[in-house]
C-alpha cells in the first residue's frame, strides 16, 4: 500500500485511513477494513459512515496535531471518535453524548483507547461537564438538532482556545425541512458570524451524505 500522510491521515487513491493505536492492533470498531503495511496497521475510514471522512475527501484542510485536545459533541457509539482517537494518539477526545445506550459503547471503546473520555451529557449545557473538559484545541460537533448553531456557539465560548478552528456538521433538514439545503447552511453561517465567529470554509458532503455540509470556523 502506498500512502501519503497528512497529520495522521493516510491517503491511497480515493480512500483514507488512520493508523490503528498500538493498544488496538487487530481490533475493528465498526467493521472497517484493517490493512497491514510494513509492520503498521491502518483502519479504512468510511465516508458513508463518518461525515468527517466525507469532508476530508471533499477537500477539508484542517490541522489536527497528535497531541491535540478535542471536544467532540454528538459522539454516538464512537465511529468517528475512534478515527480521531487514532490521529490524536498523544492527546484526548472528550466525547459528549446524550444517549446512555451509545455512551455504554463509548465506555467499552475507552477501555482500549485510553485517549477517549466518554461523557454522558447534554451539549446544551456546557457547564455541566466542565469538571471533565479543559480548554481544547478543536471542537467537532455532529448533532442533528434545530439549535445546532446555538449549541456550537456556547461550547466554543466555554472551551475553545483563542484563535483556533472548529468544525460543525450541519444537517439542513434539522434547521428547516422546507428550506433548500444551501439556504439552511447560510442561515447557520449567519448565526455563527453574528456571534463573532469567522467562517473559514463550507464543504458540501455530497455524494457521501445528502443535505449535509461541514462548516469550518475560527474564533
Ligand X SMILES: C[S@@+](CC[C@H](N)C(=O)[O-])C[C@H]1O[C@@H](n2cnc3c(N)ncnc32)[C@H](O)[C@@H]1O
**Which residues of this protein are in contact with ligand X, per CB under 6 A?**
50-51, 73-74, 76, 79-80, 96-99, 102, 122-124, 142-145
Q: How far is CA 79 from CA 45, 191, 204, in A?
A: 9, 29, 20
The residue among 76 and 203 lying less far from ligand X, judged by its C-beta, is 76
Least distance CB 37 / ligand X (angstroms) = 25
Residue nearest to ligand X (CB): 74
Cβ atoms 102, 75 nearer than 8 A: yes
The residue among 55 and 96 lying less far from ligand X, judged by its C-beta, is 96
The residue among 145 and 154 lying less far from ligand X, judged by its C-beta, is 145
Least distance CB 81 / ligand X (angstroms) = 6
The residue among 48 and 196 lying less far from ligand X, judged by its C-beta, is 48
The three-class DSSP label of residue 102 is helix
Least distance CB 212 / ligand X (angstroms) = 9
Strands (E), 2-155: 4-6, 9-12, 15-19, 34-37, 40-45, 69-73, 92-97, 116-120, 138-141
Residues in the chain: 219
Strands (E), 31-77: 34-37, 40-45, 69-73
Least distance CB 210 / ligand X (angstroms) = 13
The three-class DSSP label of residue 165 is strand
Least distance CB 76 / ligand X (angstroms) = 4
The residue among 86 and 97 lying less far from ligand X, judged by its C-beta, is 97
Amino acid at each position: 500500500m502506498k500512502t501519503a500522510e497528512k497529520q495522521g491521515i493516510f491517503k491511497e487513491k480515493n480512500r483514507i485511513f488512520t493508523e490503528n493505536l498500538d493498544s488496538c492492533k487487530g481490533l475493528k470498531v465498526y467493521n472497517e477494513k484493517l490493512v497491514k503495511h510494513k509492520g503498521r496497521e491502518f483502519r479504512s475510514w468510511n465516508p458513508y459512515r463518518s461525515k468527517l471522512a466525507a469532508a476530508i475527501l471533499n477537500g477539508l484542510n484542517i490541522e489536527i496535531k497528535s497531541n491535540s485536545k478535542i471536544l467532540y459533541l454528538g459522539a454516538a457509539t464512537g465511529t468517528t471518535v475512534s478515527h480521531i482517537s487514532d490521529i490524536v494518539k498523544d492527546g484526548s477526545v472528550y466525547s459528549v453524548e446524550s444517549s446512555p445506550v451509545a455512551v455504554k459503547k463509548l465506555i467499552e471503546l475507552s477501555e482500549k483507547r485510553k485517549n477517549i473520555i466518554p461523557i454522558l451529557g447534554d451539549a446544551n449545557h456546557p457547564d455541566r461537564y466542565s469538571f471533565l473538559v479543559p480548554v481544547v484545541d478543536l471542537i467537532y460537533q455532529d448533532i442533528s438538532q434545530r439549535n445546532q448553531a446555538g449549541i456550537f456557539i456556547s461550547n466554543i465560548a466555554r472551551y475553545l482556545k483563542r484563535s483556533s478552528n472548529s468544525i460543525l456538521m450541519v444537517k439542513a433538514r434539522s434547521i428547516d425541512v422546507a428550506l433548500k439545503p444551501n439556504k439552511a447552511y447560510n442561515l447557520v453561517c449567519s448565526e455563527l458570524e453574528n456571534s463573532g465567529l469567522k467562517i473559514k470554509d463550507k464543504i458540501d458532503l455530497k455524494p457521501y451524505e445528502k443535505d449535509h455540509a461541514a462548516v469550518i470556523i475560527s474564533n
